[in-house]
Amino acid sequence: MSPFALAKRWLWQPVLEQLTQGLSPEKIALTIAIGLVISVIPVIGATTILCTTAAIALRLNQPVIQLINYLSAPLQVLCLLPWIRAGEVMFRQEPLKLSPMEIVKVVTTSPLEAISTLWTSTIHAVAAWAVAGPFLGLALYFLLLPVLRIASARLARTRPEAPSQALDAG
C-alpha cells in the first residue's frame, strides 16, 4: 500500500469522520497542531502523557490527538538531533557526539545511563523546542484551518438532509 493510501486511511479518514460527527474545523486544527508540536518534543516516552494532559486541559479530541501522536513517532526521532543542535546553539554548548538512533538505543535500553549522559543536552533541546513550539503550532493551525473548513463545507453539501430538517423546510 502506498504512503498516500496509508495516510488517507489512517489519518485523513478519521479526521473527516470527526468533522461529520460535529467537531468543528477549528477544534480539529487545534488538536492536530498541538498534537504534532507535542509529538516532536525531544523527550522520548513523554508524548502520550503530554498529549493526554493537553487534550484534557484544552478539551481537545483525545482519539485524534493520540492518533497524531502515534503516527508522528518517527518524526520525533528525526527531530531529536535538530532540537539538540538548536539547544546547543542557544546555550553555546559543545555538540553531542551521538546519532539519533544511538540516543534512542540508550534511552530504551538503559534509561538511567541515558539520564546521566543526556541530561544537559535534553534540557537544552527542550528549551529550544519550548521556544519554537508555539510558533510551529500557530503555523500548523493556520495552515490546517482553511483545508479543514473546505473539507467540512464539502462534507456538509454531500450529507443527506436530516428528516426533521426536511419537514421544517417543506
Residue 31 corresponds to which cell in the numbers above? 488538536
Provide the total of helices (H) and of strands (E) in the chain, helices listed first: 9, 0
Q: Does residue 130 contact residue 50 with C-beta atoms inside 8 Å?
A: no
Q: What is the mean pLDDT of residues 74-101?
A: 91
pTM of the predicted model, to two decimals? 0.77
Least confident of 10-14, 34-38, 73-77: 10-14
Alpha carbon of 154 to those of 16, 29, 169: distances in Å?
11, 17, 21
Percent of the chain with pLDDT over 90: 52
Residue 170 has pLDDT above 60, yes or no: no
pLDDT (tens digit, 9 = 90+) per residue, 102-149?
Answer: 888 888 898 888 888 889 999 999 999 999 999 999 999 999 999 989
Q: What is the mean pLDDT of residues 16-31?
A: 79
Residue 101 corresponds to which cell in the numbers above? 538512533
Beta carbons within 8 Å of 131's beta carbon, 6+ residues apart: 90
**Within a 10 A sphere around the Cβ of 33, how many other Cβ atoms?**
22
